[in-house]
């Protein structure tokens, strides 16, 4: 083998080692970037929670919930300031997405969330319900979300749910609006909000 070929083969082996070092550097850099983005997201979440720390503790269900008018299993997709579908509320655990068991009675809406905080919306706090397609950064097909509007601590809140049987959503809207003495005003306001989007 000629000296030129030996030199060429040695250079090729050296180039391969250099390529591995560059790849490892890129992977480490990418991992550091992902860690930074995750850290910034966590800081943003904490900052939002600090801004919303005036929201009082969520009400819990009464000992006697009464007879169930409707029940459903599905997913809780988050809560926002009413009419502001991207203004996520994270205080009091409302920002945690989870599975959910919903029970509607004459006393209100019982929200049971495995692995997250349960809460209860008294009937007097209900402002109405509607079908929508997005909340807190989650977008589904038109009418894929059941949005329940309620008040707590002086804040009007939209909470988004998706039942495992989405075809049942209209019956939930009808039942909640029938229970709530405020649903006419709320529906008008949300219709205007939707038109402004």
Q: What is the pLDDT of residue 194?
A: 44
C-beta pairs of 163-170 under 8 Å, 24+ apart in sequence? 163/72, 163/73, 163/74, 163/102, 164/72, 164/73, 164/74, 165/72, 165/74, 168/70, 168/72, 169/131, 169/143, 169/145, 170/131
CATH code for the domain defined by 68-196? 2.30.29.30
State how far the Cα of 129 lies from the Cα of 154, in Å rounded to an integer: 18
State how far the Cα of 148 lies from the Cα of 128, in Å rounded to an integer: 6
Does pTM surpass 0.75? no
- pLDDT tens string 44-92: 555 555 555 678 999 999 989 999 999 999 999 999 999 888 888 988 8
Domain borders along the chain are 1-51, 68-196
Beta bridge partners of 186: none
Q: At what angle do helices 183-196 and 169-179 cross, to 10 degrees?
A: 130
Instruction: Give all strands (DSSP E) within 31-144, no chain letters.
Output: 68-81, 98-105, 108-112, 119-122, 126-132, 134-135, 138-139
Q: What is the pLDDT of residue 195?
A: 39
Average pLDDT over the chain reads 81
Q: Which residues of the chain have pLDDT under 70?
A: 1-18, 38-53, 183-197
């Amino acid at each position: 083998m000629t000296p030129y070929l030996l030199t060429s083969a040695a250079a090729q082996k050296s180039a391969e080692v250099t390529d591995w070092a560059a790849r490892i550097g890129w992977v480490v850099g990418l991992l550091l970037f992902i860690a930074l983005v995750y850290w910034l997201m966590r800081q943003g979440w904490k900052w939002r929670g600090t801004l919303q720390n005036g929201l009082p503790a969520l009400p819990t269900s009464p000992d006697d919930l009464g007879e169930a008018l409707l029940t459903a299993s599905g997913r809780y997709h988050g809560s926002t300031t009413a009419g502001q579908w991207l203004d996520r509320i994270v205080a009091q655990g409302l920002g945690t997405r989870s599975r959910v068991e919903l029970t509607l009675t004459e006393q209100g809406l019982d929200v049971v969330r495995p692995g997250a905080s349960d809460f209860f919306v008294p009937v007097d706090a209900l402002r109405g319900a509607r079908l929508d397609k997005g909340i807190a950064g989650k977008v589904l097909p038109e009418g894929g979300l059941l949005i329940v509007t309620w008040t707590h601590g002086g804040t009007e809140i939209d909470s988004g749910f998706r039942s495992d049987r989405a075809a049942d959503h209209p019956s939930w809207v009808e039942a909640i609006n029938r229970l709530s003495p405020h649903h006419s005003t709320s529906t008008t306001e949300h219709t205007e909000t939707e038109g402004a989007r």
